[in-house]
Chains A and B, each alone.
Chain A
Amino acid sequence: MDYNWQFHVIYDYWPVFARGAMVTLQITLGATLLGLLIGLPSGIARMAKSAWWRMPFSCYVEFIRATPALVQIVWIYYCFPILFGFQLDAMTTMVVALGIHSGAYIAEIVRAGINAVDKGQFMAARSIGMSYLLTLRRIILPQAGQKMIPPLINEFANLMKLSTLGSMIAVYELLQESNNLIASTYRPMEIYTFLALVFFAITFPWIWLSRRLEIRMQRHA
């Protein structure tokens, strides 16, 4: 290999990575929050008895899960303004698109969590006269919630990786900053390698945490 490694580039330009990391984190947190706001009611609605509630949310979940996140992002960035007249800036587009995207996956996590709660819990709550919604709120969701935490943490880690798609619409997250840096320093090896390490460092702790929680819950079951 004929490459002249110059890792001091990273040392010299570390504020660039720090800036990019901040944007990456902002996108991830924003999308997670939005995803939870969309996903929680969607998951509950998918389990409703009435098809009027189930159908629209099922369509949403199935459609989003079957299309690539990148396609959803560019659609919102380029097609939305044509349809609705106003343009979202790139950063907001990322949060909205990834929020809608993860909402569909979170809806499935919520649905699975609720299903995992023993049916007898429903019967017992209804038998003392609790309404369906009260039962969900007081009895089912608290129990489902515990089971949902590991997959939700996983989803958070996923979103962190998906934030790199922002580089396609010029959001100055980590990948975009890295690309620009490479354009001015001609050091793809060091920069991309360091980029991968940075992602590993900010993503892996969450995956490790979610696995530990899963094991802990298995033991307590």
Chain B
Amino acid sequence: MLDIKNMSKSYGSLAVLKDINLQVGPGDVVAIIGPSGSGKSTLLKCINFLEPYDQGEVRFNGELVGYVEKNGKRALAPERRVNTQRSQMGMVFQNFNLFPHMTILQNVIEGPTRVRGVGREEAIRDADTILNRVGLSDKREVKPTRLSGGQQQRAAIARALAMKPRLMLFDEPTSALDPELVGEVLAAMRQLADDGMTMVIVTHEMSFARDVANRVVFMEGGYIVEEGPPQQVFSSPSNARTREFLARVLN
């Protein structure tokens, strides 16, 4: 479903992603771990082209993301094409980024009604189903500022799910939450994974990665240093730097 080949990105002279190769198949749950500044968030944003990448390719369902190729030359894809590609991927942010001037229900139906042209009645029905799944049915008429962090993040997940994406991207979804609220968000994510959603999750929650992911990717300094099933990466990492990082983080 997601095929990243030799992808790299720089901000001016600063290279933040170097030669990234990653394949994600349907149903995969990939956890990306690593120290701050390793490029994890940037990688996520390149997948849905919120940030453009410079070299290599990101292909989503076979289609090149963000660029079009004509006669061997590459040009930026028209905005409409990129918007469509983005609408098939959902993203959940560390700071939730809910629309504060709308209720939770309005937040959730905004995408389907405005981007996919779904009728309002149908969108509301779908939204209620999703809100029920994440346990926020009683909050549908409330504005985001009235909710706790955990509730806001679950609402953000609902908003992303409303677009019926094939791939969900999570950028440190629990890093901004008080510890006692982390569990409810992880539970919602675990349920998504059990339901078969393809997910790429940048996280510091190691036990979650170990239990829910079927693949763990360790990044450092813009490179993918190690990749493998959680049992292998966590219990017997082959790379010294992976071991160092895990030792620092898991004690």
Contacts and interface: CB of A to CB of B under 8 A. Distances in A.
A128 B159 contact: yes
B195 interface: no
9 contacts: A118-B97, A121-B97, A121-B99, A126-B86, A128-B111, A130-B111, A132-B79, A134-B114, A138-B110
B224 interface: no
A125 B84 CA distance: 13
B97 A120 contact: yes
Contacts of A143: 100-101
A15 interface: no
B93 A138 contact: no
B97 A138 contact: no
Ordered nearest first, which 8 A-B pairs have the shortest CB separation?
A129-B87, A124-B97, A128-B111, A120-B97, A127-B91, A129-B115, A129-B86, A129-B83
A128 B90 contact: yes
A138 B91 contact: no
A139 interface: yes
B93 A128 contact: no
Instruction: Say which size band chain B's interface belongs to.
Output: 20 to 34
Instruction: Say which size band chain A's interface belongs to.
Output: 10 to 19
Given A123-B50, A124-B97, A130-B83, 9 more contacts: A120-B95, A123-B93, A124-B156, A126-B83, A127-B91, A129-B84, A129-B86, A129-B116, A134-B114
A128 B50 contact: no
Given A128-B160, A131-B83, A123 B97 contact: yes
B31 interface: no
A142 interface: yes
B242 interface: no
B79 A127 contact: no
Interface in B57-106: 79-80, 83-84, 86-91, 93, 95, 97-101
Given A129-B163, A138-B114, A124 B90 contact: no
A161 B88 CA distance: 54
A10 to B, nearest CB: 48
A138 B88 CA distance: 20
Nearest to A220: B145
Contacts of A118: 97
A128 B99 contact: no
Interface in A133-151: 134, 138-139, 142-143
Nearest to A127: B91
B80 A127 contact: no
Contacts of A129: 83-84, 86-88, 111, 115-116, 163
Contacts of A127: 48, 50, 86, 89-91, 93, 160
Nearest to A137: B114
Contacts of A124: 91, 93, 97-99, 156, 159
Contact of A128 (B80, B95, B100, B163): B163
A130 B93 contact: no
Contacts of B101: 142-143
